Amino acid sequence: MADFVIETGLKGRIQDPDALLRALGAIMLAQAQAAFKQQRLGSIPWKRRYPNQKPPLLNIAGALADFRMGAAEPKSRRFVGRPAGVNTSALRLSLAKENSEAMKVRGGRTVEVGSNLPYASVINSGGYSSQPVTDDAKKRMAKWMAKLRGKRRKGASYDASSRTWGPKKKSRGSKGGKAKKGSSGSGAGSKAKSGKKGTKTPSRGGGSSRASEKLKGPALEKFKSASGDIKRAQKMGFLFSRSRLKTKVVARPFLGFTTHSIRAIKKKIEMEMGNG
């Protein structure tokens, strides 16, 4: 349990110590709620998800969790850096004053606030998390990557000689516009291979994401967008050779004393003693 303990030796001078302790606990819980909203605890700012990763951003651990749960592609929130420390609202709600488990008054002199969720301490103080990379998750990753490459091939063609992408080439000798079997319009190495004995790491589909000068306007914008999606997805490529993912979790503290909370606690105690 991630918690913080406030102790007071003023029991003999206060009419209702339990009520005061609950009020002090409420101050700490309100501060915890504000930390998730403001993405900081007092003067300590929270770093975004994967702070050292270059764009386009991908929350690799979160995306893997989505695939393990059966998703065909990662949730959109896996592509943004904030809000950090938030996957669902479970942790924040576990620290709500309405939650009876978030605050405990013990012995008439101590109030304990915090979350009983198993991962709360790791979020608050930092550490490591771990999850398996299952075969089913690998298959879903491979399909997702193949889908993204297919999306790019719909709007552009790869030229192996110049290693660039250009305007979509029309299929030869086909009235319906469908490419003949074995057509090179999709670019070399564009298929994701998945066999019964396991999932192979998908190829990169053409080996280049450079656009030629011939690709312009809306077609160029769609190409850039599709290439960015592929570049993001490729950040999960190393998982095809792994059986487990270990992730370093950056500390994003939501419990602790700040200048604001110390001032509020002091004011509350003084008011209770009749000195406010």
- The model's pLDDT over 40-55, given as tens digits with 9 standing for 90+, comes to 999 999 999 999 999 9
Model confidence, pTM: 0.79
Cα separation, 89 vs 66, whole angstroms: 16
Helix %, strand %, coil % of the chain (to 5):
40, 15, 45
Cα separation, 232 vs 32, whole angstroms: 33
Cβ atoms 211, 228 nearer than 8 A: no
DSSP 27-82: HHHHHHHHHHHHTEETTEEPPPSSTTPPSSP--HHHHHHHHHTT-SS--GGGG---
Q: What is the pLDDT of residue 96?
A: 95
Give residue limits of the domains in the chain.
Answer: 2-47+85-130+245-272, 135-242
How confident is the chain (276 residues) per 10-residue block, as mean pLDDT?
56 75 94 96 96 97 98 97 90 94 88 93 95 98 97 93 89 52 41 51 65 91 96 98 97 95 93 71
**The tokens 């004393």 sit on which residue?**
257
Cα separation, 22 vs 103, whole angstroms: 8
Q: What is the pLDDT of residue 6?
A: 59
Cβ atoms 137, 62 nearer than 8 A: no
